[in-house]
Structure 1
Amino acid sequence: MRSAIYGAGSLGTVMGAYLSREGVQIDLINRNHAHVDALKKSGAHISGTVEMTVPVSALLPEDMTGRYDIIFLMTKQLNNRETVSFLKNYLAEDGVIVTLQNGIPEDSVAEIIGPEHTIGVTVEWGATMTAPGKSVLTSDPDSLSFHMGSMPGISENKIEEVKELLEKMCPVVIENNLPGARWSKLLINATFSGLGTVMGGTFGDVAHDPEARNLAASCMKEVIDVGRAAGVTFAPVQGKDLVSLFYWSNPVKKAIAKLIMPIAMKKHAAIEPSMLQDLKKHKPCEIDAINGVVCERGAREGIPTPLNDRIVKIIHEIQEGKRKPSRENLKELELCPNP
């Protein structure tokens, strides 16, 4: 069975190291020449909450040959149509693309290769690339997990094949409610990645800062309101019912949500938002695939999303060089009406 990680950046390098260490023959594919050269020469060096250096198979997209049974897609959604169309030429007849991207990417992938070739996975951990060939795992090793669900037409055998591969790294939860799993991950990303990028901090910075934490509670409520209006039942994340923990309808419940936030984020506090990582490298980020999805679906369902709208606006302005990530940006968000 041939497998590959396409877009082996911060997360993909960590995942590739874990799988390669366990004897999985997997290609780590990335467009960054320096990164691929470092992986070939010295292996994948993973630090942070773990420490290991693992020899890996790495190559550039133009060096790909043959067809793969499983391709783990870990690029940003920005160029999904172009990327998936390219990968289609390297997919085995019964192969699958497993999208581990942020947001709600399954439909855009399935539109090109078909739902019978599309599996969705949410990644419940974080990492930061610090140099070519080097990535920092920012979540505690005992808090790593994947949540996986499939589109119609995927065989049980193929689901099991993918599950067995991912379990070489950490536990895998099979989701019968893939949209609910995606929206639960979107709830976390829109809140902690969105606000973390706005203020230039980590998930922990959001959870521990009183002003940011207050905004986070409001952001969560907006996302839950939109998801519910769209008919979504939010799935548990690592055994935790996020709606029960964080949804509020009065000041007392909001105060409780804010109180437990630092505890809930403790094992993931060091995660630096991928959007912030991109902006620091002067690369476009995928704000429109995260908070932007909440805004777009809110408009469709008639649910106001003033806070998410403003987060999108601020991050676009950071991307355009009109402002910088800063805690000062929180003041503008505080002007948004409470949900």
Structure 2
Amino acid sequence: MRMAVMGAGSLGTILGALLAKNGYDVDLIDVNIAHVKALNEGGAQIVGLMDLVQPVKALTPEEMHEQYDIIFYLVKATYNEGALPYVNKYLKSNGVVVVGQNGLPEEAVAAVVGKNRVIGQITGWGATWMESGVSKLTSQPDHMTYHIGELDGKVTERLKKVADILSKAGKPEIVTNLMGIRWTKMTSNCCFSGMSAVVAGNFGDVIDNPKAVRCSAHILNESMAIAKAAGVKPEVFQGDDFTKLTFETEKELEIKVPGIRAIVESHRNIRTGILYDIEAGRYPEVDTTFNGNLCRLGAKYGVSTPVNQQVTDIIRALANGKLKIDPANVDRIELPKLP
């Protein structure tokens, strides 16, 4: 079986290294030529909460020439236009692309490669790209989870096969309500990745900041309201039921804040990729994947998203150079008045 990890950034480097360590024939594919060179010459180096140097085979998309049975797709959504044609060209007709992007990405991928060749994957851990060839695991290894599912909710043999492969790189779980899990993970990303950019720090900085964690709570509240309007049933993710963290009054909010903090306590070292993109001069995924996408969905279903909109506006201003990366940006957010 031929496999590839396309988008061998922070997460993809670790996934590819762990699959290679367990004997799988896997190519790590990335557009970063220096990164590809470092991976081939020195192996994939995993630091942080994991210590590993694993020989791997890496290549750029232009160097692809073989057909793959499985492609784990971790490219940022902002680069779909350039990456998906390669996936479509080099995925076997009966192969499958396992979509590990954030947000609600399956529809965009399926539009290029076909719904019959798509499986959804929600990655429940974080990593930071340090330098060429080096990725830092920022979640505890025992919290490296994957939720995978078919678009139609069926439990298929190929889904079981993907679960078996991912069991060598974490803890996979087959799900029948893919959209429900996707929505919960998207909500978590907006609560903590978006706010991580606002406070110019990691997830721990978000939950340790009284104002920031309240912002996260309002982001969750808005997302759950959109899900209800859209007819989506958010699923429990890593033991957390987001539907039980909603609130209507100030007193209820205070009661729910500890639960908001508990969601990412084991992932407090994650620093959002939004900041790394901004620092590198790249426009982040705020509109396609994070808070801006929630605002779009809110408008579609008639749900107000004032806090998500303010977070989106701050991130856009950071990306456009109109604001500096500064923890004080959290004070720019005006929270709704509650009874």
Match of 1:214 in 2: 214
Distance (whole Å) between structure 2 residues aligned to residue 209 and residue 154 of structure 1: 42
Does the 8 Å contact 1:6/1:72 carry over to 2?
yes
Corresponding residue of 1:171? 171
Change (3 A) 1:182 1:338: farther
Alpha-carbon distance, 1:250 to partner: 2.1
Identical residues among aligned pairs (%): 37
How high is the TM-score relative to the length of structure 1? 0.96
Aligned-partner Cα distance in 2 for 1:336–1:255: 14
Q: Is 1:88 aligned to residue 77 of structure 2?
A: no
Task: Give, as a single letter, the amino acid of the residue that structure 2 aligns with 1:63.
Answer: E
Alpha-carbon distance, 1:139 to partner: 0.3
- Displaced runs of 4 or more, over 4 A: 335-339
What is residue 275 of structure 2 aligned with on the other side?
A: 276
Amino acid at match of 2:269: A
Look up the match of 2:44. Answer: 44
User: How far, CA to CA, are the matches of 1:284 and 1:205 in structure 2?
Assistant: 23
Task: Check if 1:102 corresponds to 2:97.
Answer: no
After the TM superposition, which residues 135-150 of structure 1 pair with which residues of structure 2 at under 5 Å, given as runs?
135-150=135-150
Equivalent position of 2:198 in the other structure = 198
Indicate if the aligned counterparts of 1:138 and 1:268 stay in contact, CA closer than 8 A.
yes
SS state of the match for residue 275, structure 2?
helix
Q: Larger deviation: 154-163 or 25-34?
A: 154-163
Q: CA deviation at 1:275?
A: 1.1
Aligned partner letter, 1:282: G
Alignment of 1:286-301 (within 5 A): 286-288=285-287, 289-301=289-301
Q: Quick one: distance in 1 between partners of 2:319 and 2:222?
A: 24
Q: Over aligned residues, Cα RMSD in angstroms?
A: 1.6
Q: Is the 8 A contact 2:149 2:155 kept in 1?
A: no
Q: CA deviation at 1:335?
A: 5.3
1:255 aligns with 2:258: no
Q: CA deviation at 1:239?
A: 2.5
- Greater mean deviation of Cα atoms: 35-44 or 147-156: 147-156
Q: CA deviation at 1:338?
A: 5.8
Verify the 8 A CA contact 1:117 1:154 in the aligned structure 2: no
Note the 1:312-327 alignment, pairs <5 A. 312-327=312-327
Q: How far 1:301 sits from its partner (Å)?
A: 0.8
* TM-score normalised per structure 2: 0.96
Deviation at 1:155, TM superposition (A): 7.7
Consecutive unaligned residues of structure 2, counting only runs of 5 or more, are none
Task: Check conservation: 1:116, 1:154, Cα contact below 8 A.
Answer: no
Deviation of the 1:290 alpha carbon: 1.3
Post-superposition Cα deviations, 1:107-162, rounded to whole Å, max 9, x if no partner, equal: 01111111111111111000001110000000011111001111249881211221
Residues 242-278 of structure 1 show CA distances to partners (whole Å, capped at 9, x for unaligned) of 221x211222221122123333321100011111121
Aligned to 1:230: 230
Is it true that 1:5 corresponds to 2:5 in the alignment?
yes
The residue number in structure 2 matching 1:23 is 23
Q: Answer whether contact 1:218 1:338 (CA < 8 A) is retained.
A: no
